[in-house]
Structure 1
Amino acid sequence: MFYNLRQFLERNGFYVSSRLADRLGMRAKNVRLFFIYLTFATVGLGFVLYLNMAFWLKIKDLIYTKRTSVFDL
């Protein structure tokens, strides 16, 4: 059960960290460590921040879709 949860989080949950790391020009590992340390230091605030960013990135992806050509309208 733990293995399945880990696989699910690695496939879907770390996309926020990867996108933020690409945007900042950092490694995704460092961004993930920052969220982990922030969560321990502030008793859950880092996790709430991570979920909030995931929500807004999902909304942004739904609104702004890349079209390959004019005929995709």
Structure 2
Amino acid sequence: MLQRLLTFLERYSFGVCTYLGERLDISIAKIRLFFIYSSFLAVGFPLIFYFCAGIVLDIRNYVKRMRTSITD
């Protein structure tokens, strides 16, 4: 049950932590913990950043797909 929940969350999340982890060469689990702990300390501001970054990454991926489909 727990594994199904984790798979669901990883599949439908924005991928912000994964993107930051790959770009900065930091463990993804550490970045996720940072977002969780800092959201408690900063009263939710990191969650706003996370959602905005997720939207930007989704738009960026959409533009990349559109460019490759046009050039094909």
TM-score by length of 2: 0.76
User: Structure 2: 5+ residue runs without aligned partners?
Assistant: none
> Is the aligned partner of 1:23 residue 2:53?
no
- Summarize the alignment of residues 1-73 of structure 1 with structure 2, pairs less than 5 Å apart: 6-13=6-13, 15-65=15-65, 67=68, 72=72
- SS of 1:64's equivalent? helix
* Number of residue-to-residue matches in the alignment: 68
Contact 2:14 2:54 survives alignment (8 Å): no
Contact 2:16 2:50 survives alignment (8 Å): yes
Take 2:50 and 2:24, find their aligned partners in 1: how far apart are those partners? 16
**Greater RCO (Cα-Cα under 8 Å, separation 6 or more):** 2
TM-score by length of 1: 0.75
Take 2:10 and 2:50, find their aligned partners in 1: how far apart are those partners? 14
What percentage of aligned pairs have identical amino acids? 34
Contact 2:38 2:46 survives alignment (8 Å): yes
Q: Which moved more, 1:6-15 or 1:24-33?
A: 6-15
Greater helix content: 2
User: Structure 1: 5+ residue runs without aligned partners?
Assistant: none
Take 2:40 and 2:17, find their aligned partners in 1: how far apart are those partners? 17
